[in-house]
Amino acid sequence: MSIINAPRGVRDILPDESWKWEYLFKVTRDTARDFGYREIHLPVFEHTELFSRGVGETTDVVEKEMYTFEDRAGRSLTLRPELSASMVRSYLENRMDKWHQPAKLWSAGPMFRYERPQKGRYRQFWQIDFEAIGSQDPYVDVESIALSLEIFRRLGLSKLEVVVNSVGCPVCRPVHREALQDFLRPRLGDLCETCQGRFDRNPLRILDCKNPACRDITDEAPDTISCLCADCSEHFSSVRLGLDRIGAVVSIDKRLVRGLDYYTKTAYEVLSGDLGAQNAVCGGGRYDNLAESIGGPHTPGVGFAAGVERIVLTMEDQGCNFGEPPVLDVYVVSAEPSSRDESVALLYEIRKAGIAADIDYTGRSFKAQFKTAGGSGASFACVMGPDEIASGSVTVKNLGTGEQQQIARAELPRLLAELRSAKAGNQEGDLL
RNA sequence: GUGGGCGUAGCUCAAUUGGUUAGAGCGCUGGACUGUGGCUCCAGAGGUUGGGGGUUCAAUUCCCCUCGCUCACCCCA
């Protein structure tokens, strides 16, 4: 019988990597606070209709990527493929329209999409997600973009490309759709197969096809910006102006359309060159009709989601700093089996003082315990043996310098206090 | 769903036109040093060569199937 492996497309985040995630979440949390976003925890599964209606029936996500299952009562549920729909659902359900508007919320957690895995793409992947619901002010769009850029800046990422576009609204979209179809109709036969299929269902997506032939054809095609209604046009100028004012460097990409149906007006992406084909590390935009599509009143909103795995990959490629991995402060070494009970007592005394400490549980030799101590990254080894027990002392060795001294057990609290303050100040104390 | 590449020790990789006991480095364990880690030296453990079938006197090597990983298309985080 062979061992059971993890299912395809999922992976374990082992300790050597998880501390980097911790750093990313800390930066995220701090930045969220600085921008006035509050954290919300949302369920990992929802009613299937939330996504099919919210995200859009004809999107790839809904058509072929959802993890959908029936629960024991026959309800159709789906593991969330994204977070905006849940955010808006929670906004409506919890009457956040009665809060001060917009409600600014953020969340982090795993999303699920059934796709062939490849670099930077997994079936379970983490996103950090920020949404501002209840305002149509262009400055909220600006803030959303600025917030994502600030997180990346604080993480030390550079060489990121920010692309922005406006995809219009229900007023101007049909106008553009028709103009686009009129333009493409004579050359329909020259488009790639998938684009021919898109022509009736979702012609907008033909604009971001990567097929060279399609690109040639669409180079001169009418873009969304040229067809914007007065309202959307003004909104888009305000967003661009606002981005200018806060010094955000972005470029306009007329081909950017995004794959989810709910986007209106502003759409944007942040791209990384270090990710291979999956180059989007962050995507977002405005979705003024999402609330209505899931049964609520008209409620404007804007937000973005960023992929945690992709951010970490990019940070690693760019040699970014992740802070310090967690290490032990003290490793307790028992000189002889007879002194083990006293060693364990010492271990808990140290831990109680808030110092990270560990001990050997495999019955290794004195020498081998020291080897473990050295490899553990601990700053100090505390030795407890017959001599120490007899004299009521403990031997403390600085594993960095090799110096050691035997101190009275009564002095240990003072030493631990020093250790703790050195830890808090994150600097070398005068220890030994 | 469709293509390409790759599966040998915990990790990174060797192994002649197919050739007999599948090796090395790192890591791990023990020892040299019986109360002291890192450096050095010595020793040891650890492999159904992803799995199954076929060709052959002989398969890690060639063929087929299958599973897995990976990259790309598609789409996106």
The 10s digit of each residue's pLDDT in A174-207 is 899 889 889 988 888 888 777 787 888 778 888 8
Per-residue pLDDT at A312: 93
pLDDT tier, A428 (very low <50, low <70, confident <90, very high otherwise): very low
List beta partners, residue A127: A109, A307
Neighbours of A207 (CB within 10 A): 24
Confirm if A176 and A232 have CB atoms less than 8 A apart. Answer: no
Rounded distance in angstroms from the CA atom of residue A8 to the C1' atom of nucleotide B69:
10
Neighbours of A392 (CB within 10 A): 9
Looking at residue A47, which CATH number applies to its domain? Answer: 3.30.930.10
Domain membership flag for residue A4: no
Same-domain pairing of A381 and A271 = no
Same-domain pairing of A312 and A335 = no
Domain membership flag for residue A48: yes
Using CA atoms of A284, A285, A289, A295 in order, give the dihedral in degrees to the nearest 10: 30
Domain membership flag for residue A370: yes
- Give the nucleotide at minimum CA-to-C1' distance from A283: B77
Reply yes or no on whether the pLDDT at A259 is more than 80: no
Domain membership flag for residue A34: yes
* Pairing label, strands A160-166, A45-47: unpaired
ipTM: 0.86
Same-domain pairing of A244 and A359 = no
Residue with tokens 């090799």: A402
Same-domain pairing of A243 and A386 = no
Confirm if A191 and A184 have CB atoms less than 8 A apart. Answer: yes
- Give the nucleotide at minimum CA-to-C1' distance from A368: B37
Domain membership flag for residue A189: no
Among A258, A286, A317, the domain boundary falls at: A317
Among A272, A288, A317, the domain boundary falls at: A317
> How many domains is chain A partitioned into structurally?
2
Reply yes or no on whether the pLDDT at A427 is more than 50: no
Same-domain pairing of A59 and A159 = yes
Looking at residue A353, which CATH number applies to its domain? Answer: 3.40.50.800
Domain membership flag for residue A3: no
Domain membership flag for residue A196: no
- Give the nucleotide at minimum CA-to-C1' distance from A116: B1
pLDDT digits (tens, 9 = 90+) for A220-242: 889 999 999 999 999 999 999 99
Among A317, A352, A373, the domain boundary falls at: A317
| Residue nearest the C1' of B75 (CA based) | A60
Rounded distance in angstroms from the CA atom of residue A240 to the C1' atom of nucleotide B75:
28
Mark the nucleotides of strand B covered by protein, meaning any atom under 7 Å from a CB.
1-3, 28-31, 33-38, 68-77
The rounded distance, in Å, linking the Cα atoms of A411 and A388 is: 13
Rounded distance in angstroms from the CA atom of residue A327 to the C1' atom of nucleotide B24:
32
Confirm if A334 and A343 have CB atoms less than 8 A apart. Answer: yes
Q: Which domain holds residue A144?
A: 15-172+224-317
Same-domain pairing of A298 and A356 = no
Same-domain pairing of A414 and A307 = no
Rounded distance in angstroms from the CA atom of residue A3 to the C1' atom of nucleotide B63:
29
Same-domain pairing of A334 and A310 = no
Rounded distance in angstroms from the CA atom of residue A88 to the C1' atom of nucleotide B8:
52
- Give the nucleotide at minimum CA-to-C1' distance from A122: B77
Same-domain pairing of A395 and A256 = no
Stretch A115-140: mean pLDDT, rounded? 95
Same-domain pairing of A379 and A283 = no
Confirm if A281 and A271 have CB atoms less than 8 A apart. Answer: yes
- Give the nucleotide at minimum CA-to-C1' distance from A61: B75
Using CA atoms of A136, A41, A272, A196 in order, give the dihedral in degrees to the nearest 10: -70
| Residue nearest the C1' of B70 (CA based) | A118
Per-residue pLDDT at A6: 85
Rounded distance in angstroms from the CA atom of residue A86 to the C1' atom of nucleotide B45:
53
Omega of the bond leading into A102 within 30 degrees of 0 (cis): yes
Same-domain pairing of A313 and A381 = no
Rounded distance in angstroms from the CA atom of residue A1 to the C1' atom of nucleotide B55:
29
Reply yes or no on whether the pLDDT at A332 is more than 60: yes
pLDDT tier, A429 (very low <50, low <70, confident <90, very high otherwise): very low
Domain membership flag for residue A358: yes
pLDDT tier, A321 (very low <50, low <70, confident <90, very high otherwise): very high
Stretch A121-126: mean pLDDT, rounded? 94
Q: Which uninterrupted H or E stretch holds A405? A: strand A404-408
Same-domain pairing of A335 and A310 = no
- Give the nucleotide at minimum CA-to-C1' distance from A65: B75
Rounded distance in angstroms from the CA atom of residue A362 to the C1' atom of nucleotide B29:
12
